[in-house]
Amino acid sequence: LAEKLQNTLGKLKGKGKLNEKDVNDAMREVKLALLEADVNFKVVKQFVEKVKERAIGQEVMESLTPGQHVIKIVNEELTNLMGNVQSKINFSSRPPTVIMLVGLQGAGKTTTAGKLGGYLKKQGKKPLLVACDIYRPAAIKQLKVVGEQLGIPVFELGDQKSPVDIAREGLEKSKIDGNDVLIIDTAGRLHIDTELMDELVNIKQSIRPHEILLVIDSMTGQDAVNVAESFNSALGIDGVILTKLDGDTRGGAALSVKAVTQKPIKFAGIGEKLDELEPFYPDRIASRILGMGDILGLIEKAQANIDEKKAKELEQRIRKQQFTFEDFLEQLEQVKKLGPLNKILEMMPGMGQMKQLKDIDFDDKEIVKVQAIIQSMTRQERNDPDILNASRKKRIARGSGTSVQEVNRLLKQFEQTKKMMKKFAGMEKSFKKGRQCK
């Protein structure tokens, strides 16, 4: 998906100003990318129209190629669509603040009740968890285990009382015990049904929650739209918590849910553990949906610092696989301006996951040492490291105030970097194609 998108966006590079056809071509691919990310088709259609409108009318920013400019707009609009960071819980001025979690079975309500409790406890709140799922066997037990792990009290009345009664009594209990936040864990169903909705509406009317948060499994993709729509129209929700964003989901559900309900996505569940809840960051999801890594950040950083011409030359050399220690040295100078190399590489799409990155440790002291070693090499050695035998290595180590081991380590790192750049060159080919057929 990312590849496809980069292919098309790549085609736009270096073509001068955007015309309608360019944008249309690019947006066709963006559309596919979004659908592939499981964004609802209606939402996709709206989105694409909006971006087209904006892109065609607009001047291309001077420092960006047209392709980069489209990426920028697409990314901005995606982020806009999902709203700003709004992970705040609206606390009542008269505690306890009542938070009711609703959603389908397996969405992650019980887990999230615990996570949210833990999150708020860290902020100095005194939460009470209330077990209102009396249908699923062991649901009460599950919440109690969660509460125990977090040191948060759980209120339950077994499975013989009605959820409305349990919620009401839980509210009373919290007032007695001085809990300032009440988190209600409710029952789910496999599918939306009116019986469930009626029960939730009853609880709502009886205890008047300050926040009704819909818990949605981000893996459900297209279905998320129906779920969000039903819960919102029957019950009225105040926000969404998206769970299981740690999986390989593309996050399309986030976009759909936000577009359909207009309600903020407040938190994201990012793992099974009880501390794996975080504020929802729209920009991260936007990049994730497009699968592009933080391309924009990278563009901005590089633009500000790298000498364009040198970069072009280097790029040529990488492409021809003539990358030498001379280039490496020059690269290090650039890198010092940019910041840690692994950070830069991480921002590039596809590079973040590359294992080799972890093996290469470039801190600043290291860079100085590396520079010394390379500077102790002759030009011939720099261009053809294969000739480095034991005596040459010893001479270089002496000259640079390092050891033969350190020289060897650098040689290994250099090989790894070269390999990595080769891979990167392959990945980038799609970008370059556009540039060559100018």
Q: Which residues bind Mg ion (CB under 5 A)?
A: 109-110
How many residues in total does the chain contain? 438
Q: What is the CA radius of gyration of the chain?
A: 28
Distance CA 111, CA 334 (A): 47
What residue type is assigned to position 366 of the chain? E
Question: Is 417 annotated as belonging to a binding site?
Answer: no
Binding to ligand GDP by residue 107, rule CB under 6 A?
A: yes
If the CB atoms of residues 82 and 187 are measured against Mg ion, the closer one turns out to be 187
Two structure tokens written together for 195: 């019986």
Q: Which of 103, 117, 251, 293 binds ligand GDP (CB under 6 A)?
A: 103
Quote the crossing angle between the two packed helices 390-400 and 364-375, to the nearest 10°. 120
If the CB atoms of residues 277 and 292 are measured against ligand GDP, the closer one turns out to be 277
Q: Which of 270, 286, 344, 397 binds ligand GDP (CB under 6 A)?
A: 270
Q: Give min distance, CB of 203 to ligand GDP, in A.
A: 15
Q: Applying CB under 6 A, which part among 166-174, 266-274, 292-300, 373-381 lies near ligand GDP? A: 266-274
Binding to ligand GDP by residue 278, rule CB under 6 A?
A: no
Q: Which of 11, 13, 69, 109 binds ligand GDP (CB under 6 A)?
A: 109
Q: Is residue 260 a contact partner of residue 225, using CB atoms and an 8 Å limit?
A: yes
Binding to ligand GDP by residue 159, rule CB under 6 A?
A: no
Q: Which of 87, 111, 174, 232 binds ligand GDP (CB under 6 A)?
A: 111
Binding to ligand GDP by residue 271, rule CB under 6 A?
A: yes
Q: Give min distance, CB of 142 to ligand GDP, in A.
A: 6
Question: Is 392 annotated as belonging to a binding site?
Answer: no
Question: Is 393 annotated as belonging to a binding site?
Answer: no
If the CB atoms of residues 114 and 349 are measured against ligand GDP, the closer one turns out to be 114
Site string for ligand GDP, 164-203 (x = CB under 6 A): ------------------------x---------------
What residue type is assigned to position 362 of the chain? F
Binding to ligand GDP by residue 345, rule CB under 6 A?
A: no
What residue type is assigned to position 323 of the chain? F
Q: Give min distance, CB of 183 to ligand GDP, in A.
A: 12
Question: Is 221 annotated as belonging to a binding site?
Answer: no
Q: What is the DSSP string of 40-58?
A: -HHHHHHHHHHHHHHHHHS
If the CB atoms of residues 14 and 106 are measured against ligand GDP, the closer one turns out to be 106
Q: Which of 25, 229, 246, 315 binds ligand GDP (CB under 6 A)?
A: 246
Two structure tokens written together for 273: 């553990």
Question: Is 31 annotated as belonging to a binding site?
Answer: no
Binding to ligand GDP by residue 272, rule CB under 6 A?
A: yes
Distance CA 299, CA 75 (A): 13
Chain centroid offset of residue 40 CA: 19
Q: Which of 67, 239, 269, 291 binds ligand GDP (CB under 6 A)?
A: 269
Pairing of strands 277-279, 265-269: antiparallel
Quote the crossing angle between the two packed helices 252-261 and 282-290, to the nearest 10°. 130
Q: Where does residue 376 fall: left (phi above 0), alpha (psi -120 to 50 degrees), or beta otherwise?
A: alpha
Q: Applying CB under 6 A, which part among 5-13, 38-46, 159-167, 241-249 lies near ligand GDP? A: 241-249
Question: Is 103 annotated as belonging to a binding site?
Answer: yes
Two structure tokens written together for 31: 């559309």
Two structure tokens written together for 42: 């209606």
**By beta-carbon distance, which residue lies closest to Mg ion?**
110
Binding to ligand GDP by residue 249, rule CB under 6 A?
A: no
Q: Is residue 255 a contact partner of residue 82, using CB atoms and an 8 Å limit?
A: yes
Cα–Cα distances in angstroms (integers) from residue 273 to residues 186, 217, 269, 270, in the given order = 20, 16, 9, 8
What residue type is assigned to position 185 of the chain? D
Distance CA 138, CA 114 (A): 16
Q: Is residue 400 a contact partner of residue 372, using CB atoms and an 8 Å limit?
A: yes
Binding to ligand GDP by residue 108, rule CB under 6 A?
A: yes
Binding to ligand GDP by residue 243, rule CB under 6 A?
A: yes
The three-point CA angle 352-353-357 to 5° equals 70
**Numbered residues of the known binding site for GTP:** 103-110, 185-189, 243-246
Q: Which residues here bind ligand GDP, judged by CB under 6 A? A: 103, 105-111, 188, 215, 243-244, 246-247, 269-272, 276
**Numbered residues of the known binding site:** 103-110, 185-189, 243-246
